Amino acid sequence: MAVSTGQERGLFIGGEVVEAASGEVRDLLEPATGEPLARAAMGGEADVDRAVAAAREALDGPWGRTPPNERSRLLHALADAIAANRKELAELESRNVGKAISSVKAEVGGAVENFRFFASVLGSIAGRANPVGGSLQTYSIKEPVGVCAQIVPWNYPLLMSVWKLSPALAAGCSVVLKPDPQTPLTVLRIAELAAEVGFPAGAINVVPGDGPTTGSYLVRHPGVDKVAFTGSTRTGSEIMRLASEPLKRLTLELGGKSPNIVFADADLDDAIPSSVWSIYYAAGQSCEARSRVLVEKPLYDEFVSRFAAYAKQLKVGDPLDPETQVGSLISTAHRERVHGFVEKGREEGAEVVVGGELPDGKGAFYAPTVLAGVDNAMTVAQEEIFGPVVAAIPFEDEKDAVRIANDVRYGLFATVWTGDPARGHRVARAIKSGMVGINMPFTAFPGIPFGGYKQSGFGRELSIDTLELYLETKGVLFSVSPKPFNPFGL
Ligand code: NAD
């Protein structure tokens, strides 16, 4: 096998592209066409062993000796390299995931900014020094946690990898990253770019492979000090169990069923198009997709009909067309699952206002779908559908809105639309989620902590707090007394 041509991708271990020990190579299909896109090597246990050993060697060697200012320079250089290769990366991601290129371009821009953010804030890594009392003094130092296993899903393979790599590398950790086997292409390219700009061998290793085998082995690996996972809540629970022996540090970024709350006093010309975007970008395959639209009762019918009219207008199609707003889902198998939820909604009494049909033809497309008359107890209001399907739920008043918003097991994001600023902040306080947006649809920016409450996980991405999750704090104690301690009075 030619391991890294445009069409054939190897694993990335110890600074180079390598074949999988088993020789396994898998065909990757383009979700929007069903046609072959590339072939990628799939790693197994022997490859994880190799990658963890390379990561440890880097930490004990050149990468571990790289001072913070040089780490910062390397992170900026990688940001520059991503910016210089943004066209190639965007097209690769769009074709591999099926997602509209307009969104993917913004994601590549976000990746660049994310590396820059952590390149800057790593200068803030510092311990403290305090006199404790008497002759006793102490200082603390920050050290990288060590070798990090990072596992990411298929919905934002490039961005989720960058969200994880950037704080880990800023803190001085080395990484073995396992992308989803369907979507390894862009992070493999980023690992190559990292090597080109001078990251030492073994600082970044990428081993695509199946979750229950390769991923599980990586999580349990005794050479791994920390596991950072993004994916479903079900897999997150399993990872927490697997990471407990031997015990590892853990962060989990999991699923969501985020509410988009629209009060009758909101500016509807702003709230409605933004609410449409908040569910349908990335074809609804976003953890923080506002998949439940909660609307104050007097406004409900008007809101649903205006929302549905916009949903119908969205341009669904070729992900590489710059005009496309909604691309393909990741696979026809996933589309079956999404459609199954819509059918379940119908059975439980929801009205399908637009969409909700399985289309003919090539690709895994699914039309933006609106379910009205939804009660929050229905399956479509409780379960993460992870597709372009919104559940519109009426509410009575502010108290009822907060009750419904919180009445799910998840707590990732919420958006509130209101003309009353005090109400916006009051509701933001009352909602049990890691993030709340007031009168704006956007969710993720470098510098703003991103993560969940409840079953949406724990730990935060994107912020200065994230650095702490990749650092250990060591306390050093000493005495300035000229007299030695003699605790036994010997
Ligand atoms: P998933 O949990 O099925 O898979 C995620 C990753 O885990 C993949 O790389 C997979 O191969 C791996 N995996 C699966 N089983 C494993 C195991 N037993 N041991 C180790 N690794 C294993 O999730 P998915 O369907 O690929 O992704 C969609 C989910 O991700 C949604 O629930 C979405 O909300 C969530 N997500 C969360 C965030 C966030 O920041 N909170 C961001 C993006 C996606």
The catalytically annotated residue of 287, 288, 296, 384 is 287
485 burial type by CB count under 10 A (0-12 exposed, 13-18 middle, 19+ buried): exposed
pLDDT digits (tens, 9 = 90+) for 131-153: 788 899 999 999 999 999 999 99
Q: What is the largest CA-CA distance in the chain?
A: 88
CATH of the domain at 207: 3.40.605.10
107 CB within 6 A, ligand 1: no
Based on the domain organization, do 286 and 244 belong to the same domain? no
Could you tell me if residue 1 is inside a domain? no
Residue nearest to atom 19 of ligand 1 (CA): 216
Distance 73 CA to ligand 1 centre (A): 31
| The total number of structural domains that make up the chain | 2
C-alpha span between 398 and 444 (Å, rounded): 26
51 CB within 6 A, ligand 1: no
C-alpha span between 142 and 122 (Å, rounded): 11
Distance 219 CA to ligand 1 centre (A): 13
Coil, helix or strand at residue 352: strand
Catalogue the E-assigned strands of 333-461.
351-354, 369-372, 389-395, 410-411, 413-417, 435-438, 453-454, 457-458
Based on the domain organization, do 246 and 272 belong to the same domain? no
Distance 232 CA to ligand 1 centre (A): 5
Last residue of a domain, one of 438, 461, 482: 438
Catalogue the E-assigned strands of 317-451.
351-354, 369-372, 389-395, 410-411, 413-417, 435-438
160 CB within 6 A, ligand 1: yes
Ligand 1 atom showing the smallest separation from residue 386 Cα: 31
154 CB within 6 A, ligand 1: yes
Residues 6+ apart with CB under 8 A from 488: none
Could you tell me if residue 476 is inside a domain? no
| Two tokens, residue 451 | 């993560």
Alpha helix (H) residue ranges in 183-331: 185-197, 216-220, 233-242, 268-280, 300-313
Based on the domain organization, do 95 and 242 belong to the same domain? yes
Distance 180 CA to ligand 1 centre (A): 8
Could you tell me if residue 322 is inside a domain? yes
255 CB within 6 A, ligand 1: yes
Residue nearest to atom 13 of ligand 1 (CA): 211
Distance 230 CA to ligand 1 centre (A): 5
Based on the domain organization, do 271 and 249 belong to the same domain? no
| Two tokens, residue 113 | 């900014």
Question: Cβ distance 380 to 312 under 8 Å?
Answer: no
Could you tell me if residue 444 is inside a domain? no
Based on the domain organization, do 332 and 236 belong to the same domain? no
Active site residue 287: yes
Distance 331 CA to ligand 1 centre (A): 15
93 CB within 6 A, ligand 1: no
Residue nearest to atom 9 of ligand 1 (CA): 180
Could you tell me if residue 486 is inside a domain? no
CATH of the domain at 323: 3.40.309.10
Number of residues in the chain: 490
Last residue of a domain, one of 253, 286, 311: 253
Based on the domain organization, do 233 and 366 belong to the same domain? no
Residue nearest to atom 23 of ligand 1 (CA): 231
Based on the domain organization, do 301 and 226 belong to the same domain? no
Q: What's the half-sphere exposure (Cβ side, CA atoms, 13 Å) at 450?
A: 21
Based on the domain organization, do 14 and 58 belong to the same domain? yes
pLDDT value of residue 130: 81
Query: What is the amino acid identity at position 84?
Result: A
Last residue of a domain, one of 191, 226, 253: 253
Distance 62 CA to ligand 1 centre (A): 32
pLDDT value of residue 4: 46
Strand order in the sheet with 204-206: 16-18, 11-13, 204-206, 174-178, 147-151, 226-230, 249-253, 457-458
pTM comes to: 0.96
Based on the domain organization, do 386 and 324 belong to the same domain? yes
Q: Which of 240, 287, 410 to mutate to test the pocket of ligand 1 (most atoms within 8 A of CB)?
A: 287
Q: What range defines the domain where residue 123 resides?
A: 7-253
Based on the domain organization, do 190 and 78 belong to the same domain? yes
Q: Which of 99, 103, 151 to mutate to test the pocket of ligand 1 (most atoms within 8 A of CB)?
A: 151
Could you tell me if residue 461 is inside a domain? no
Could you tell me if residue 448 is inside a domain? no
Ligand 1 atom showing the smallest separation from residue 253 Cα: 41
Distance 234 CA to ligand 1 centre (A): 9
Based on the domain organization, do 416 and 376 belong to the same domain? yes
Based on the domain organization, do 329 and 180 belong to the same domain? no
The catalytically annotated residue of 57, 253, 288, 384 is 253
Question: Cβ distance 185 to 9 under 8 Å?
Answer: yes
Q: Which residues of the chain have pLDDT under 50?
A: 1-5
Could you tell me if residue 452 is inside a domain? no
Ligand 1 atom showing the smallest separation from residue 154 Cα: 26
